[in-house]
């Protein structure tokens, strides 16, 4: 446990998810951390200082000017005490203040005053998360070595469904613990896991700055007639998570998306397509205009109907036969360009995952492939979590089950390291 005996300063801001703060304190102390809590002015409307003091065993801090602090400067003393600063939940208002360096309360002042690594777990309505202002603020934060944890997608307190839900407390605690394990200067311990099992922390806060990344996401729909189509179970969450994290890591992103019910980062260029032929055309046109990295995350239909009916097919017969023809291979065509970008493919398999992934890597002459087992019922299609094994011709790296946003950041960190030597 990397958090063993470390001092974690937990900041709680005024969102409905603040009610989970006592449980988060328990999860952090369960990993061996010493926890102190700082409340924003509005958070006390959702969770009481007494409850947080009871679970942490330490006084709760609320005020910037604290007469009980040594020398009357509690913000400096707490900033020096902290080995880790975690804000959960982090509201849109809090994120805006962090982006612009405001220090009008104890918590935001601590962010400026500490040298400890800072983590934030956003929590807000899905439309507030997708808002252009919020996405712009997140892009600024990404330049300041603040690590984003989540958010997850799901049902929200207001009844909406989408991204903006705070990660579960156990996921937040474990992701912070995992991140600290890759920062040996924090815990004064050497990195103990090999690259085969973990991803080294990238020292550049914007490792993809100056790169144009083209990402495909979601399913395609292959028409049978004007009202019916062939498709698959892809939700697009992995591709959209990659786009979001790529923006935060400094890249210019073009997201080419099949039909999904997701909001893309406001600063992305988004091309909406329906069929595999549509996606093939959009990808090649975009890549040929200049592209450094191509990530084929979409679940593109392998086949399409040879003759699409002009009118709705009636149920006049007990049987119907469809003739299917193979769709063009988008990933292989990009990799075969005279000057191809760095190409990352995905292999969604139900069995013999490594065998098929390695074969695809070699056959299509890719730089990298990320494989996942879609036969599992806890990850992959239509889930917020995923797990990947990343293969290159020389290496293999396992990324364990976690939220797709966190997984996307780890995968892009690997990509950035390989691109720098490509």
* 268 assigned to active site: no
The active-site residue out of 94, 158, 291, 297 is: 158
177-197 as b/e, with b when 16 or more CB fall inside 10 Å? bbbbbbeeebbeeeeeeeeee
- What positions carry a catalytic annotation? 158
């Amino acid at each position: 446990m990397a958090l063993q005996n470390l001092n974690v300063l937990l900041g709680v801001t005024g969102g409905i998810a603040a009610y989970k703060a006592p449980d988060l304190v328990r999860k952090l102390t369960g990993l061996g951390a010493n926890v102190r809590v700082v409340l924003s002015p509005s958070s006390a409307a959702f969770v009481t200082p007494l409850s947080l003091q009871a679970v942490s065993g330490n006084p709760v801090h609320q005020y910037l000017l604290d007469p009980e602090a040594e020398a009357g400067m509690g913000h400096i003393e707490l900033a020096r005490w902290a080995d880790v600063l975690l804000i959960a939940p982090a509201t849109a208002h809090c994120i805006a203040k962090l982006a612009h360096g405001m220090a009008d309360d104890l918590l935001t002042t601590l962010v400026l005053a500490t040298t400890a690594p800072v983590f934030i777990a956003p929590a807000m309505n899905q439309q507030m998360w997708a808002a252009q202002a919020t996405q712009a603020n997140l892009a600024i934060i990404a330049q300041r070595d603040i690590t984003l944890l989540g958010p997850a997608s799901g049902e929200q307190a207001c009844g909406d469904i989408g991204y903006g839900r705070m990660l579960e407390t156990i996921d937040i605690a474990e992701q912070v613990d995992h991140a600290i394990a890759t920062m040996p200067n924090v815990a004064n311990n050497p990195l103990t896991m090999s690259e085969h099992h973990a991803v080294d922390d990238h020292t550049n806060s914007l490792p993809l700055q100056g790169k144009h990344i083209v990402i495909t996401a979601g399913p395609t729909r292959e028409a049978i007639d004007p009202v019916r189509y062939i498709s698959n179970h892809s939700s697009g969450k992995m591709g959209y998570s990659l786009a979001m994290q790529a923006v935060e890591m400094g890249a210019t992103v073009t997201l080419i998306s099949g039909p999904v019910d997701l909001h893309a980062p406001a600063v992305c260029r988004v091309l909406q397509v329906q069929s595999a032929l549509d996606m093939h055309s959009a990808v090649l046109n975009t890549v040929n205009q200049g592209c450094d990295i191509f990530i084929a995350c979409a679940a593109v239909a392998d086949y399409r109907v040879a003759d699409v009916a002009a009118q709705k097919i009636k149920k006049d017969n007990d049987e119907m036969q469809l003739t299917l023809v193979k769709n063009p291979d988008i990933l292989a065509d990009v990799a075969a360009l005279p000057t191809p970008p760095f190409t990352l493919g995905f292999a969604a398999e139900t069995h013999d995952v490594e065998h098929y992934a390695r074969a695809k890597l070699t056959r299509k002459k890719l730089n990298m492939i990320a494989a996942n087992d879609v036969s599992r019922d806890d990850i992959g299609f239509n889930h917020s979590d995923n797990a990947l094994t990343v293969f290159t011709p020389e290496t293999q790296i396992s990324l364990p089950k976690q939220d797709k946003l966190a997984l996307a950041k780890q995968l892009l960190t690997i990509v950035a390291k390989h691109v720098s030597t490509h």
